[in-house]
Amino acid sequence: MMPPRASAVVIVLAGLLAPAAAHAESIRNPLAVFAGLDKVTGKIKSFQIPIDKEGRFGSLLIRPRVCYSRPVTEEPKTTSFVEVDDLQQSAKRIFSGWMLAESPGLNAVEHPVYDVWLTGCRDPNAPKPAQEAPPPPIDLEQADVPKDND
């Protein structure tokens, strides 16, 4: 058995030598993107609401407070803190919490007539990710293709 001081040194060294977990920086976005289901008509509608503004879907008043995403080079994780009031019930708060775009069933707003869930975050002013140019087309007449020997 190691003396307590030696155990403490081993634990500290192990912590220093262990690889640090990569922490992706969250991106704050000015728009939250939602989908809403009207259970009476069976129609799904996609809509965007600016952060700290109000948007309506049926009798629901939806207020996203923040909307975070990660860079495209990282594993997707899109979250938004949302408050939802039902205007038919004297503006009663029916939801206040985090929604996760990757797990819509986890924290969606379930209402007798409407369901609302987060689908993403957007920043219309963000630069578009660079895309590779497609390879040039091959001219089959000029290409070195083996021919049939007839």
Domain contains 22: no
- CB environment 128-141: b (16+ within 10 A), e (fewer): eeeeeeeeeeeeee
Domain containing residue 66: 27-122
Domain contains 88: yes
The structural domain count of the chain equals 1
Domain contains 43: yes
Are 99 and 79 in contact, with CB atoms under 8 Å apart?
yes
Domain contains 2: no
Domain contains 143: no
Are 65 and 98 in contact, with CB atoms under 8 Å apart?
no
pLDDT confidence tier of residue 140, bands split at 50, 70 and 90: low
**Which tens digit of pLDDT belongs to each residue from 71-112?**
888 888 999 999 999 998 788 999 999 999 998 888 888 889
Domain contains 128: no
**Which tens digit of pLDDT belongs to each residue from 113-129?**
999 999 999 998 877 76
**Which tens digit of pLDDT belongs to each residue from 17-40?**
444 445 568 899 999 999 999 999
Domain contains 137: no
Domain contains 17: no
